[in-house]
Amino acid sequence: MNTQALSAPRPAGLGGRIALATALVVAIPFAVNDFWVFIAIECVVFALYAATFNLLFGYGGMLPFGHAVLFGVGAYAVAILVKKSAFSALVALAIAPLAGALTAAIVAFFCVRLAGIYLGMLTFAFQMLAYTVVLKWYSLTGGDDGLSGITIAGWLGTPHGLYALSVVLTAAGIAFLWLVVRSPFGVALQAAKSNPQKSRAVGIDVARHQLLAFVISGFLAGLAGGLFALANQSVFPGWLNWTASAVPIVMTVLGGMASFWGPLVGAVIYVLLQTVLTGYTEYWALALGFLIIAIVMVMPQGVMGWFDRGRRG
């Protein structure tokens, strides 16, 4: 994998790109109807979610098979607090990242010392445990039906309000991740990925770095889940199922796993593709399956890698 691209983005043009992206993001809700505002929220939230996966995978070298548990715990934290307690939706949303971080800390405590495949399997087992509990604890979680009617009062509960909330929190989350991967901690995490033995030899506590990466990832994945619960006004157990855990992996590989921005781009492409294709065919999964195989075989560096290669000539 191209670790160069991970640690050294081109500084030139970054300011311009951010300005362009900001202008685009602000303009969207004024240009489209409520349906597309909802899709835009989905793009934003899943961009954050994909970025939390990439912190573990692209920067930490860990491949969890159960990342959806962190997203799902955040979503259910918001839903349960709003439905079953006196907390307001905003307080619930503030608790969602903590629920995600706590879950991640528990998962990571057990799995960071495990070699690749076993780490994946352990996260898979945690996810199935959480999924089964959510499915069977009907009185708390609504079981199969999920929970609905999760709304924020006032302007924040309107499509534009939810969009603004999602954009601001996601931007803060992504900016935080950007700082994390450039911090000494982030550099050590990447060193631990490319050569764990050597990292230990120079005094990096590999397991502790991976654990902290998990906690940060869980914190923001929980936030993404909480936002998505509010945007949907409902949560469903399928969000924690094993098939849901493939989604951030697909987004990451689609956008390009060797870059910070790749998974974000991948998330947006994924959500738009899903929205457009499900309008034409009920067999969107079939198309996605063939797309995944095509990407893996034809452009393994993803959309961003393909762009970069084009630019270099």
Q: Does 35 bind another protein (CB under 8 A)?
A: no
* Position 115 contacts another protein (CB under 8 A): yes
Taking the C-alpha atoms of residue 95 and residue 301, their distance in angstroms, rounded to an integer, is 36
69 touches another protein (CB under 8 A): no
Q: Look up residue 223 and give its two tokens.
A: 């936030």
Amino acid at 124: F
Of residues 19, 20, 31, 129, which one binds another protein by CB under 8 A? 129
d(CA 309, CA 189): 27
What's the rounded Cα separation, in Å, for the pair 71 and 68? 5
Token code pair at residue 171: 């931007």
Residues of this chain, 42-61, that bind another protein according to CB under 8 A:
57
Alpha carbon 295 to its chain's center: 20
Indicate whether 194 belongs to the interface with another protein (CB under 8 A). Answer: no
Tell whether residue 25 is a contact of another protein (CB under 8 A). no
Stretch touching another protein by CB under 8 A, among 13-21, 165-173, 219-227, 236-244: 236-244
Terminus-to-terminus CA distance in the chain, angstroms? 20
The count of residues interacting with another protein (CB under 8 A) is 43
Closest CA to 268 of 47, 33, 22: 47
Q: Residue 223 CB, nearest distance to another protein (Å)?
A: 24
Residue number, 58 or 159, with CB nearest to another protein: 58
Shortest Cβ 286–another protein spacing (Å):
4
Our CB check for another protein shows the closer of 18 and 276 to be: 276
Helices (H), the chain: 3-7, 14-31, 34-54, 68-84, 89-111, 116-136, 138-141, 159-182, 184-194, 196-201, 206-232, 242-255, 262-280, 284-298, 302-312
Q: Which is nearer to another protein, 168 or 285 (CB)?
A: 285
H or E, element range at 235:
strand 234-235
137 makes contact with another protein (CB under 8 A): yes
106 binds another protein (CB under 8 A): no
Residue 78 interacts with another protein (CB under 8 A): yes or no: no
- The answer to whether the CB of 150 falls within 8 A of the CB of 91 is no
Nearer to another protein, 11 or 279 (CB): 279
- Return residues touching another protein (CB under 8 A): 1, 57, 63, 65, 110-111, 114-118, 120-122, 124-126, 128-129, 132-133, 136-137, 241-243, 246, 249-250, 252-253, 257, 283, 285-286, 288-290, 292-293, 296-297, 300
